[in-house]
Amino acid sequence: MSALELHDVEVTYERRGRESVRAVAGASLIVERGQIVGLVGESGCGKSSLARAAVGLVKASAGEIHFEGREVAPLTRRARPRELTRLQMVFQNPYSSLNPRRKIGSQIADGGGGGRKRVAELLELVGLPPNAATRFPHQFSGGQRQRIAIARALAADPSVIVLDEPLASLDASAQAQIANLLVNLSRELGLSLLLISHDLAIVRHVADVVSVMYLGVMVETAPTRSLWEVPLHPYTEALIGAVPLADGSGFLPEALPGEVPDPAHPPSGCRFHPRCPYAFERCPRDEPPLLPVTEIRRAACWLQEPGGPPARPAERAAQLGVAARVE
């Protein structure tokens, strides 16, 4: 049994007086026990909606979400079943998720009970001194506040933590420190992490497996190293190629070249086809499913075939006689 499984999840937002938007249009993702999965994509691709659906903060309009084999129902005013409290979430801005008027010791204790000793243990786990418990959120730096938010999530003794852009509001050195902390916590406690980030360098450094999302659907999933060595989907290739530094570090661009489609009116067939340099006649017609190209890699692109051989899009396009579009 996997730690967290999402199958064909859809998230639709109703908009008063306007047509609804399907932010997630049938995305699947698996987080195995002790694994760190990175979820990347441009802003607005649906990754935060998927993360929120994964923990029950928004209702999935279709599909299934299971945490350790148990269905994750949307949160209500009622207390969550105890088993589901072991599925936790950490948000981008720790300051907004902490109460400014309460000492952090009591806020951490709220996460899962336990006395002063337990709070001190949790603070130590995230690299903060025990006396931090007696201070208020404004007395800490951004990086320290994110450590506090992680300690509060750990108080519930979680097996999975979903982190939505946990490093985005931090400076570079705090980002690196928190990224290392997450890896260490995962390895030491056997924690599974689903890390949503637009920072390719962090994801490459931290994640065991990466899922790439485009306009509400998953387009590629692979072990981190093989994804970077040989991206199979043209969108993944474009994301990696758009990063300016040779070592692959850097941020996803706000948008790749080409018009970003309106999620309320996604393109027909392959959603990436208006921006894809290899699009051929089948692409605007049929939507490619996310299929296994190898045992450990999946891609949703008509250039790739189940069973492989896996190859870069340009190579596959040349093999299939598809001319790259020059614009």
Binding-site ranges for ligand SF4 (CB under 6 A): 233-234, 270, 272-273, 276, 278-279, 283, 288, 301-303
Supply 240's token pair. Answer: 């990696």
One-letter amino acid of 215: L
Which residue's CB is nearer to ligand SF4, number 11 or number 270?
270
Which residue's CB is nearer to ligand SF4, number 143 or number 234?
234
The residue to which tokens 């996460």 are assigned: 111
Work out how close the CB of 220 gets to ligand SF4 at its nearest, in angstroms, rounded to a whole number.
10
Contact status, residue 119 vs residue 108, Cβ threshold 8 Å: yes
Work out how close the CB of 291 gets to ligand SF4 at its nearest, in angstroms, rounded to a whole number.
11
Which residue's CB is nearer to ligand SF4, number 16 or number 265?
265
Work out how close the CB of 278 gets to ligand SF4 at its nearest, in angstroms, rounded to a whole number.
4
Which residue's CB is nearer to ligand SF4, number 102 or number 282?
282
Work out how close the CB of 264 gets to ligand SF4 at its nearest, in angstroms, rounded to a whole number.
20
One-letter amino acid of 66: H
Work out how close the CB of 7 gets to ligand SF4 at its nearest, in angstroms, rounded to a whole number.
22
Which residues face 105 on adjacent strands? Answer: none
In 69-89, which positions are buried (b, 16+ CB within 10 angstroms) versus exposed (e)?
eeebeeeeeeebeeebebbbb
Which residue's CB is nearer to ligand SF4, number 157 or number 305?
305
Work out how close the CB of 257 gets to ligand SF4 at its nearest, in angstroms, rounded to a whole number.
14
Taken in order 155, 156, 157, 158, the sign of the CA dihedral is: negative
Name 161's Cβ contacts closer than 8 Å, sequence gap at least 6: 88, 89, 90, 150, 153, 191, 192, 193, 194
Work out how close the CB of 9 gets to ligand SF4 at its nearest, in angstroms, rounded to a whole number.
21
Which residue's CB is nearer to ligand SF4, number 137 or number 263?
263
Q: In whole angstroms, give the CA distance from residue 195 to residue 90.
A: 10
Which residue's CB is nearer to ligand SF4, number 158 or number 310?
310
Q: In whole angstroms, give the CA distance from residue 172 to residue 327.
A: 36
Work out how close the CB of 262 gets to ligand SF4 at its nearest, in angstroms, rounded to a whole number.
18
Q: In whole angstroms, give the CA distance from residue 166 to residue 51.
A: 12
Which residue's CB is nearer to ligand SF4, number 91 or number 302?
302
Supply 131's token pair. Answer: 């006396």
* Start-end of H helices in the chain: 47-54, 94-97, 104-110, 116-125, 142-154, 172-189, 200-206, 224-229, 234-242, 313-320
Q: In whole angstroms, give the CA distance from residue 281 to residue 63.
A: 30
